[in-house]
Structures are given as structure tokens and as C-alpha cells.
Chain A
Amino acid sequence: MTHQSRGPRCYRPWGIILGFLLLSVTYVPGPTSSPEPFSSASAALGFEPFAGAVMAATTTTPPGGKELLNELIRKAKDEGELVATIQSTWSKTLIPPIVEAFKKRFGLNSNVTVANVRPAEHFVVAIAETQARAPATYDVVQGDDAETMQLIGGGGTQKIDNWETLLAEINPLVRSGKVRPDRINRGPFAQHAFLFMSNIKQILYNPRLISAQDLPRTHAELGDPKYRGKFTQPPWTSHWEIAPAVFDNFDKEKWLEIVRRAGKNTGAVLGESTGVQRVVLGEFAFALAQDTYFRQILLKDPKASLAFKYFEDYNERNGVYYSVRTGARHPAAGTLFALWMTTPEAQAIWQPSELLAVPYGESKIDREQALSIEKSGAKAVGFLDNEKTMDLLKWYRSEEGRKYLDAMTRAIRGE
């Protein structure tokens, strides 16, 4: 009690003085509230010179794709460097071939650095860099739907003008008309972020411990007492968050209660990769995880006791995108890299070891994933699928949406 009564008296004057001091040194006028933060944030932050600087030459007379690309390559050569990210979980052995292939494709002689980065950690710093008008650590970064939305909303990405023309020049699938450009860039991410891979959230299970028939069919069934302690799920919300855009007459409170019941039944809240390993170990019967881990485990040990099953109500398709950072030191090279990573050429380098599917791709893995979903009749839903899902993604950026996600995260742990 003495501590509690004394504490405020000690801290208050110090807190106020230091608060003011720190505020004065750290405060940088941020963007005022804007209904379209992702379109105006970078301009409000004074980064307009970066946005569109790459394409400045194109604004007078629109040249053809080849000219645009050549101009971009010329600028990238002038920049002489690129600092890019890849998924934190990707093998570091992929970095040299990716760098070499990228440089070769555009005839660059630049110094290219590629680093494994976890967007969850880095995007906080990236947004702070943007708001403080500091140069970006990385020129081009990757992140999933929610992460990218966060970065765009914070003004952390820059627009790529003439992206459709450039994408058609760089990506043969787009050029040939096999893939429409809006499959790669659309909705709230338009001109900012480019889809290059995705995964499907589902159930991975150990057939020695549970049969496919005994598995839950819907997310709601995870709350059934018979599954108590038998499964793991990750602490993040991506297995649950898309539900508001899936069900008609969605009741937010009722859904939270379903998540909470499932949370109370959960044996352990673990990252998806760790959860799947514990399923193979035999500690848990099944895990909520993505399809990639199924392929990865089977590649390492074809006899591993692991199988997968889709939920019958929905399965979230989690997209991963590249975007060029606001304040990038090398925006032209960053643009080239972001667009090149969508190509089959880049995919052929990383996919054999990472086994992630490209939703518009034509590789064996891409076809198998598509076929598996089709055959099972499962419903795979992504955030950029339709107006309803895109509205939901935007809503999660609002205060109300954030609070709902917070409540969902607590519900996952049974709170």
C-alpha cells in the first residue's frame, strides 16, 4: 500500500516533464485523420517526391511498355543498389540464386542485399520510419494481407505508376493474357502491393490418433467437448478473422463465443509450424495450420504420420504481397524486384524448397492446391476475393475492427 500511495507522487512530475521532453524530440506531425489513409498518407508525410519519381518521365507522353521498363531499368542501374526482404521462414540458401536471377533478368550490376525479415516485427519500425520521414531500411518488403494493409494504411508503401504495363512487360503470364493483372494487384492494395504467393488455412492431423471422419467439419465444432485438449491453434486470428465476410447474417458476439469455446478446448496455443511438429510427434491429434507445412513435412519424411482436411464452412486463403517502401533509397530497383517476384522465373527458384503455392501459378504445386480445393468442394476465401472481404479488411483497420480482433485473440486463449 505504501508503494501504491507513494508511486504516483514520485512519478507524476517526472512523468510530465519527461513526457514533454520526449514528446518535443519525438513528435513529428503525422497525417490528420483521413478516410483513405492508404492513398494520402505518404503525400501527407512529405514523401511525394518518392512516389512516382520513378515514372516521372512517363507522365508527359505515355510511352510503350518496353520504353517504360527500359527507363525503370536505367534508373535502377543509376541507383546501383537494392535492399529487399524475403519471408523469415525461407531458406537462406535461396538468396544467392534469387539475387543472381534478378540481376541477370534486368542486366543489373547493382549491389543487391536480400534479408529474411518477419513483417510482424519490421512493419512497426517501417511505419515509424515513414512517420519520422526517415529513409526506409528496406526498399521492398513482403507481408500478408493484414500486415500489408497495416503498412499501406500507415503510409509505408509507395504507388507504382503504370504498374499494369510494367507487370505485362515483366510477367509472361500477364503478357500472354493467362493471368489478369487484377489477380495480382487490386482492391485496397491497388498500385501498392503485388500478390506473389498464398496459403490455405485448414486442419493438419495425425491419422494414427484421429480419423478424418472424427475431425471437426466446421470451425464451430472445434468447441465440442470431445476435442478438448486434442488440438493446437496459433495465437493469431487468421483461422477465424475472415468469417464475418463468409456467413450471411453474421453475429459478431456469437462468433466470438464460438472462438472462445474453441479456445477453451485448445490443448496448446502454438505457432502453426510448431503445432504441426507436435502433431507429428503424437502429442496432439490435429492442428489448425496452413497447407505448406503438410508439404514441407512430407518432403522431409514421406512416412510421417500427417494428413490434411479442409473445413466445410470456409478456409482462409492468406495472400502474401510485395510492396515498395515509402522513402526507399532505391525505388526503381525495388519496383523491379516487387514485380519480378510475381513471375514464374522467380517462383521456379523459391517454390521447390518452400513449397508455397501461387494462386495464379501453373506449377505442379499450384495445380495440386487448386485441384485439391476443387475436388473437396472446400470454400477457400481470401481478403481480396470480393467487395465484402475487402470491406472487412478495411474495417479491421478501424478502431472498432481492431478491438474486435483483440477480443478474438483473447478468445483464442479461452478468455
Chain B
Amino acid sequence: MKPRSSALRSVTIPLACSWFILSGIIVLLLFVFYMTFVPGLPTEPGFTLQHWANVLSARLMTRVIPNTAIVGFGAILVSASFALPLAWLLNRTTLPFRNMFITMMALAAIIPGFILAMGWIMLLDERIGILNTVIAALFSLDSVPVGVKNNPFGIAWVIGLILTPPIFFLIAGPMRALDPALEEAAGVAGFTQWKTIWRVSFPLVWPGILGGLIYIFMTAVSLFEIPALLGAASGKVPVLATELFYAVRPGGPLTATFAYGAAGVYGVLLAIPSLTALYLYLRVLARAERYQVITGKGYRPREFSLGRFNWLGIAFVVAYLMLSVGLPLSVLVWASLMPVLQVPSVEAFSKVSLGNYYGLLETIGGFPVIRNTALLMTSVSLLVCFFSFMVSWVVVRTQLRSRKLIDMLAMMPHAIPGLAFAFALAMIGILASIWIPWPPVSGTIGIIVVAHVINRLPYGTRIMNSALVQVHHELEESAQVCGMKNITIMRRIVFPLVKPSMIYVAIWTAMLSFQEVTMALFLSGPHNHVLSVGIWELWDRDLGKAAAWAVTMVAVTGALMWVVLKLTGGRVGGHIGTWARVAR
């Protein structure tokens, strides 16, 4: 057992880094909470409980919360049903074309969610749905009772498909790091391959899965555009996210009335189930040693051969990719070739042209926008990786009493709507410009980076927590015995072992930053426009051009993903065994 002073010294840097980022979160959370008692802007005097009174209505209990629960849990069910088998198939088996499939999983993440929703409307709408029309014609039906509009299950289905890649990436790292010795032991004990997966492999990645499910739930209930497109905005299937939108803008988007305090109230409502789930998650982590599967003893990952069931695995992966990538990508490509979006027909085909692809860069604002976007994605990626590693180190590798508080604080930004955070940051930026006028805050790319880093920290820490949980203490203890300093152990042993998860965090946060609109839009000034804002503005003005941009970005990002995967050893995590041996 180490003396207390030595133990404290070993966590000084991670602890300092953790509290640095968490202090930013605390300030923003307090600001958001404070705003729930402010009638208008924080610069105006006054105190009100009206935001709370407005939100806590009978409608909330009878319609909004039940619908939100269906959407949240339904999305979990859908995404977990796809993501868990996909993560296993693409990380622990010898399935062919895995690199291509993983790249396509990442592509699914950058296709705007509402395009998928539009795709499903074009497939299943009662009037224009292609699939419905075909089924109705085949079976001589007047109408087909299958639809995604105006029902919470349809919304859950579409959101579940969209959120499959995040949970896939959340558990892919831990899945790759499973100790084959345990699986071999199960085999020796007479377990079948499927029983080994169910009884040994999955329980070992349970922290990752649980963290992912919490993340999915919180994301699903806070998504706005998809429920809005599928009926929630019409008040037919009200969910928390759409109620939040209208509570913040009670007079609608064009009347410029505002009640940002309402965002904080909804944040608290969203935080209650999230914190409950987090409590369960922390209880799982409290028995972290059960999940430490990366030890210093002959560790190497092992891959299962599916044998004659290979085709079944491929069929499953392809089916998901068709639903989540093929369908929306087809709609995107089709929309990009049409002057005005129409259902495919002979007449529509006569209008196909590449006109929307001409002069694309100018339509978005030119090179500065690309530069800003690249800067944003890179900075957010690096900072989220760094701070997530530091926070997770404190949470998982120390016995500090504050570690549970730290983990809960790190998770909190996910419960607060991005709009509320952006608003708080904008207000702080304004006040900062008076108190400390010399550093540029408002209207810089830096303020968007801060918003994104804080907003993505929950995701980064979920992955890093589950990755660090799997690295056994004995590796560090061996290094300490050999006289290594703590910082060297972190850099030379632990970091290489969790590098696959780190790369997943980097890729995924970059993708999320690329996609994010709400915060970037609210914080945008004359010089910090990013691509997502440009494309979002295009959607409103010119769907064809916006679709052309989206197709181009999918192609470019796909190519970049391919390069990243190649550079990281064919597959992320390809060197993990080597690093473990070097460290040993």
C-alpha cells in the first residue's frame, strides 16, 4: 500500500486538469440553473418561478414524458440491437471487409439525421411512401398501417438507427481489448462459442455498454430535428426536446421573444433520469476490478471465426448499413441531382442534373469556413481526448472520495441542452468583453471550441472510463517496481493501451463537431462561421445545393476515415497487443 502523500502526488496532474475543465462546466451549469429564475436576459433584473410553472404542467405528465420515455427507451432498444452484434462482428470476428464496414459506420454518423428521417418519409409516408405504395398495390390495400410519422415508435426507430454508430464506437474499443484467456477458459470449461459470448464477453464490456446506453438515452431525448420532422413539432407527439424548443421561443422563432431559463428547467428534468442512470453506472464501476481484462500476462486479442455463418454476419452488417447509410445516402444523392426535391418518377428523372455541384465552395462562404471547421474539429478532438483521459484516470484509477462527484460533473453537460450552454457561453463572452476586453472571446472560433469540448466531455469520459477499467493495475505496479515515474507510466504504458479507444474518441468527437449546428449557430459571429452552420443555412435556402454539399462531405470524410484507419494499422487497435508487450 502506498503512503497517502505519494498517492496524492501521483494524481496531482490529472486532478488539476480535471478540475480545470470541470470548473468551466460548474460555472456554466450554475449559470444555466440561475437562468431558470430569470424572467428574460441575465442582464435584466428580476426573479421568477414562471419557467418552472410553465413546464410542470399536466400535459407534461400525461403526454410529453410518456412519449419521451418511449422515444428514449425505444431508441436504446433499436440502437443496442444493432450496435452490440455489430461491435462484436466487426471487432472480434474474422468477418471480411471489416475496414470498409467500420468506415461506413463512421459515415453514418456524418449524414444529417433529418435526411434519414426524410428518407423514411419517402419510404413509408401514407401518400408518397414508395414502399407503402408498392405494398398497397401488391395486396390491393387502400392504405398501409406502417408509418414513422406521428407516432413515438416511428421516431424511436429512426433515432435508434441514427444513434447506433455512437454506441458501436463506445464499445468497440473495450470489445477489442477483451482478454482471450477468459474466453479460452470458458471453452475449456465446456461453454459453447455463443454461450461464451453471452456469459463471458458481454459481461466484461458491460461498463462500456451501460455507459453507451445512458449516453444514447440522453441523446435520444434531446434530439430536436427528427421528432420535429416526424410529427412532434405539430404537437401530435410532443416530446421534451420539441417542448423545450417552443418553451425557449414562446412566440416562435420570428417573434424574437425568448425564455432561455426554460432550457435550464428542461435540463434539470433531463438530468434527473440521467443522474439516476449514472448512479447505477457508478455502482458498476465501483467493482472495477471485475472488468480489468488487460493484464501483463500474455495479453493478446483473439478473433472468432464465424465459419459457415460468415454470410449471416455480412448480411446483418449490410442490412444495417443499407438502413442507416444506403437509404439516406440515396435520398441525399437524389436530392443533390434534382432542382427541387421530388419523388422518383419518369418526369423527375428527366430533370436530373449536376447543376447543384457547381460553385459549391462559394455557396458556403469560401476557404475561411473550411479552415474554421478544420480548426474546430482538430482542437475539439485533441482537447476532448486529453481532458477525458485525465478525468477518467481520476475516476477509474484513484480511490479519491471526490471521484464520483467528478464523474457526475463530467456527465452533466450531456443533460443540459446545447442551446442553454451556448446561451450561457454567449452571455459570459459578453460580460468578459467588458471586464477583460483584451482577449477575444465573443465571435471567435475559441468560444465554439469551448462549447464543444464541454458538450463532448461526457462522451469522451464514457469511452475512456470503460477503456481504463479494463487495464489491470498490475501493469502500473510492475512499472513502479522498475522505478518508472507516474507520468512516464501514464505516457508509456496506460496511454498506449487505451490508444484505440482514444482514437475512437478523437474520430467521433471530430464527427460530432462537424455535424453540430445549434451551439455553433448561436455562438457564430462575423468571423467564426463553420461548415455545419453554412450547410444548415443552405438547407433553409437551397435543399439541392445543401444535399450536394452533404454528398461531397460524406465522400471526403469517407476517404479521410479510410486513411486514418490505414494509418492506425489497418484497424484501430491493431497494435494493441504489441504495445502491451512492449510495456511489459
Contacts and interface: CB of A to CB of B under 8 A. Distances in A.
Contacts of A90: 541
A266 interface: yes
A229 B41 CA distance: 38
Interface stretch (B253-261, B389-397, B502-510): B253-261
Interface in A155-198: none
A143 interface: yes
A268 B231 contact: yes
B285 to A, nearest CB: 21
Interface string A395-415: 010000010011011101111
B45 A30 contact: yes
A241 B256 CA distance: 14
A137 B443 contact: yes
Interface in A132-156: 132-135, 137-138, 143-144, 146-147, 150-151
A83 interface: yes
Interface string B331-346: 0000000111111000
B257 A26 contact: no
A35 interface: no
Contacts of A89: 537, 540-541
B43 A137 contact: no
A128 B43 contact: yes
B252 A92 contact: no
Given A129-B430, A138-B526, A405-B255, 10 more contacts: A89-B541, A92-B364, A115-B526, A117-B524, A128-B430, A234-B252, A267-B234, A269-B228, A281-B341, A410-B246
Given A15-B33, A28-B43, A281 B544 contact: no
A119 interface: yes
B290 to A, nearest CB: 28
Contacts of B175: none
A147 B254 contact: yes
B219 to A, nearest CB: 22
Given A18-B34, A128-B427, A273-B541, A147 B525 contact: no
B431 A91 contact: no
A121 B525 CA distance: 11
B280 to A, nearest CB: 14
A113 B340 contact: no
29 contacts: A3-B272, A3-B276, A19-B34, A26-B427, A83-B526, A89-B537, A91-B541, A92-B362, A116-B529, A120-B256, A128-B43, A128-B430, A137-B526, A146-B251, A147-B255, A235-B253, A236-B253, A237-B252, A241-B255, A263-B235, A269-B228, A269-B234, A277-B341, A282-B128, A300-B542, A301-B338, A301-B339, A303-B351, A413-B233
B522 interface: yes
B235 A236 contact: no
A131 interface: yes
B142 interface: no
A223 to B, nearest CB: 15
Given A93-B363, A270-B233, A280 B427 contact: no
B257 A150 contact: yes
Interface in B215-241: 228-229, 231, 233-236
A271 interface: yes
B80 to A, nearest CB: 26
B254 A236 contact: yes
B534 interface: yes
Contact of B522 (A121, A134, A268): A121
B37 A414 contact: no
A151 B258 CA distance: 12
B42 A26 contact: yes
Interface in A14-66: 15, 18-19, 21-23, 25-30
B31 interface: yes
A415 B236 CA distance: 10
A132 B430 contact: yes
Contact of B43 (A15, A131, A274): A131
Given A121-B522, A124-B41, A128-B430, A281 B254 contact: no
B125 interface: yes
Contact of B254 (A93, A124, A135, A144): A144
B434 A133 contact: yes
4 nearest A-B pairs in the assembled complex, by CB-CB distance: A413-B235, A236-B252, A131-B43, A150-B256
A413 B251 contact: no
Contact of B251 (A266, A269, A301, A406): A406
A402 B251 contact: yes
Given A115-B525, A137-B526, A280 B341 contact: yes
* Residue of B236, B251, B364 most packed against chain A (CB within 10 A): B251
A135 B429 CA distance: 12
A275 B308 CA distance: 50
Given A26-B427, A121-B521, A270-B233, A146 B43 contact: no
Contacts of A120: 249, 253-254, 256
A189 to B, nearest CB: 14
A405 B234 contact: no
A372 interface: no
Nearest to B231: A268
A282 B343 contact: yes
B340 A146 contact: no
Interface string B552-565: 00000000000000
A281 B433 contact: no
A287 B322 CA distance: 32
A155 B412 CA distance: 36
A274 B34 CA distance: 36
A189 B42 CA distance: 26
Nearest to B355: A300
B256 A124 contact: yes
A412 B347 CA distance: 36
A125 interface: yes
A261 to B, nearest CB: 13
A118 interface: yes
B155 to A, nearest CB: 13
B442 interface: yes
Contacts of B339: 300-301, 304
Contacts of B443: 137
A408 to B, nearest CB: 8
A415 B251 CA distance: 14
B453 interface: no
Contact of B433 (A113, A119, A134, A283): A134
Contacts of A29: 45
Contacts of A343: none
B163 interface: no
B551 interface: no
A236 to B, nearest CB: 3
A88 interface: yes
A132 B434 contact: yes
Contacts of A113: 526-527
Contacts of B127: 282-283
Interface string B438-456: 0000110000000000000
Nearest to B46: A30
A146 B256 contact: yes
Nearest to B362: A93
B249 A22 contact: no
Contacts of B254: 120, 144, 146-147, 236-238
Contacts of A340: none
B537 A237 contact: no
A91 B363 contact: yes
A357 to B, nearest CB: 17
Interface string B345-376: 00100010000000100111110000000000
Contacts of B426: 125, 128
Nearest to A404: B251
B342 to A, nearest CB: 6
B442 A137 contact: yes
B543 interface: yes
Contacts of B433: 134-135
B43 A26 contact: yes
B180 interface: no
A297 interface: yes
